[in-house]
Structure 1
Amino acid sequence: MSRSFKLLVFDWDGTLMDSEARIIACVKGAAVDLDLGVPNNESIRNIIGLGLTEAVTALFPGADDVLVSRVIDRYRHYFLDVDKTPSELFPGAMEILEQLQKQNYMMAVATGKGRQGLDKVLDETGLGWLFLTTRCADETLSKPDPQMLLQIMDELSVNGNETLMIGDTVYDMQMARNAGAYGLAVSYGVHEADRLMQHTPLGCLDDIWELTGWLASNRL
Structure 2
Amino acid sequence: MPRKNFDLIVFDWDGTLMDSTATIVACIQAAAKDLGLPVPDDKQAAYVIGLALPDAMQAVIPGLEPKHYPHMVERYRYHYLTKDKGLTLFDGVREMLSDLAQEGYFLAVATGKSRVGLNRALDAANLLSVFDATRCADETFSKPHPAMLQELTRELGQDMRRTLMIGDTTHDLQMAVNAGASGVGVHYGAHSGPELEALNPLFIASSVPELHTWLRENA
The TM-score with structure 2 as length reference comes to 0.93
* Alignment of 1:157 onto 2:182: no
Aligned to 2:67: 66
What percent identity do the matched residue pairs reach? 46
Aligned to 2:201: 201
Please, what is the CA RMSD of the aligned residues?
A: 1.6
Structure 2 CA distance for partners of 1:150 and 1:64, relative to 1, 3 Å: farther
Aligned to 1:189: 189
User: What is the alpha-carbon distance in structure 2 between the residues aligned to residue 40 and residue 86 of structure 1?
Assistant: 23
Structure 2 CA distance for partners of 1:112 and 1:176, relative to 1, 3 Å: same
Listed one character per residue, the Cα deviations across residues 109-168 of structure 1 (whole Å, up to 9, x for unaligned) are 001111222111111111111001111111111111101111001100111111000011
* Structure 1 residue 66 displacement after superposition: 2.4
Aligned to 2:129: 129
Aligned to 1:114: 114
Tell me if the contact between 2:53 and 2:113 (Cα under 8 Å) persists in the aligned partners.
yes
Q: Unaligned regions of 5+ residues in structure 1, if any?
A: none
Structural mapping, 1:10-29, within 5 Å? 10-29=11-30
* Structure 1 residue 97 displacement after superposition: 0.6
Structure 2 CA distance for partners of 1:84 and 1:129, relative to 1, 3 Å: closer
**Range that drifts further, 84-93 or 39-48:** 84-93
AA matched with 1:40: D
SS of residue matched to 1:128: coil
AA matched with 2:15: G
SS of residue matched to 1:126: coil
User: What is the alpha-carbon distance in structure 1 between the residues aligned to residue 64 and residue 147 of structure 2?
Assistant: 25
SS of residue matched to 1:26: helix
AA matched with 2:76: Y
Aligned to 1:94: 94
* Structure 1 residue 173 displacement after superposition: 0.6
AA matched with 2:24: I
User: What is the alpha-carbon distance in structure 1 between the residues aligned to residue 115 and residue 66 of structure 2?
Assistant: 20
SS of residue matched to 2:134: strand
* Alignment of 1:214 onto 2:214: yes
Structure 2 CA distance for partners of 1:45 and 1:138, relative to 1, 3 Å: same
Structure 2 CA distance for partners of 1:37 and 1:98, relative to 1, 3 Å: same
* Structure 1 residue 94 displacement after superposition: 0.9
* Structure 1 residue 217 displacement after superposition: 2.6
SS of residue matched to 2:180: coil
* Alignment of 1:50 onto 2:51: yes
Tell me if the contact between 2:10 and 2:164 (Cα under 8 Å) persists in the aligned partners.
yes
User: What is the alpha-carbon distance in structure 2 between the residues aligned to residue 209 and residue 85 of structure 1?
Assistant: 24
* Structure 1 residue 59 displacement after superposition: 1.3
AA matched with 1:94: R
* Structure 1 residue 193 displacement after superposition: 1.2
